[in-house]
Amino acid sequence: MAPHREGSEASVEAMVAQVEKHPISTILIIIAMQTEALPVVNKFQLIENPHSSFPKGVPWIHYHGAYKDITINLIWPGKDLTFGVDSVGTISASLVTYASIQALQPDLIINAGTAGGFKEKGAAIGDVFLVSHVAFHDRRIPIPVFDLYGVGLRQTYSTPNLLKALNLKTGKLSTGDSLDMSPHDEASIAANDATVKDMEGAAVAYVAELLKVPAIFVKAVTDIVDGEKPTAEEFLQNLAAVTATLEEVVTQVIDFISGKCLPEL
């Protein structure tokens, strides 16, 4: 006999199955830096929504538009109100992911952006990775189980057909709130088995999981962390060229997604 299930549990499952059978219609792209976001905004001729449902006064920018059968929403957390620079890092990423899911109810999240890469793990400048797992490297809590919570290892939404069709590299992503890498971070990144390192991914994944929205992570390498050059210098040097590549791959991802249901990805 089938185990008894609460009616609401069964109907949630039925709803999920129903949603998964429908072509993806609304996507949410989260991009931390203006330089990374604008090529995508321009490519899809997205326009800024002056009536976004975000709280009054926050710097978060909602761009939107239609492409083929998809409503594209792109959220850029904007410039920090105090310091005037892009609101990079996990705090802004979590906040905008939460607020955007609440407002837009996307079928799929794409967190796109730049990352540092480890040449020892096969990364090179300009490579674009479709991330398999995310984890944090700067949340050290040496108490049983809290240690695992701190690391927050999560598998991303599995998209084997997308990975194959676009012939992208894949690897694990480690997230922390610093562009540089302290010796402590280095040890944690190695323990996370990461090929790429960013400042938002694991935070976006945390919120996406909380609100049960599938999320994928497209990360383009601007700097080689285990190389000779200072990270900030190499990052700034390669930013323009790599963001152009990032836009091309995000476009290919959206083209692939168009007309497909989640399980087909």
**Which residues of this chain interact with ligand ADE, rule CB under 6 A?**
114-116, 179, 197-199, 222-223, 225, 231, 235
Query: d(Cα 131, Cα 133) in Å, to the nearest integer?
Result: 6
Name which of 10 and 191 has its Cβ closer to ligand ADE.
191
Catalytic residue among 127, 138, 185, 223: 223
Name which of 188 and 231 has its Cβ closer to ligand ADE.
231
Q: How far is the CB of 138 from ligand ADE (least distance, A)?
A: 11
Scan for tokens 């944690």, then name that residue.
188
Residues 175, 207 contacting (CB under 8 angstroms): no
Q: How far is the CB of 214 from ligand ADE (least distance, A)?
A: 23
Residue nearest to ligand ADE (CB): 116
For β-strands 108-117 and 26-30, DSSP reports them as parallel
Residues 137, 185 contacting (CB under 8 angstroms): yes
How many other C-beta atoms can be found within 10 angstroms of the C-beta atom of residue 241? 13
Residue 8's SS3 state is helix
Name which of 62 and 219 has its Cβ closer to ligand ADE.
219
E strands present in 81-180: 108-117, 128-136, 154-155, 169-175
36 catalytic? Reply is yes
Name which of 107 and 185 has its Cβ closer to ligand ADE.
185
Residues 6+ apart with CB under 8 A from 91: 177, 203
Q: How far is the CB of 102 from ligand ADE (least distance, A)?
A: 27
Q: How far is the CB of 179 from ligand ADE (least distance, A)?
A: 5
Q: How far is the CB of 227 from ligand ADE (least distance, A)?
A: 10
Name which of 114 and 188 has its Cβ closer to ligand ADE.
114
Residues 41, 34 contacting (CB under 8 angstroms): no
How many other C-beta atoms can be found within 10 angstroms of the C-beta atom of residue 218? 24
Write out the catalytic residue numbers.
36, 223
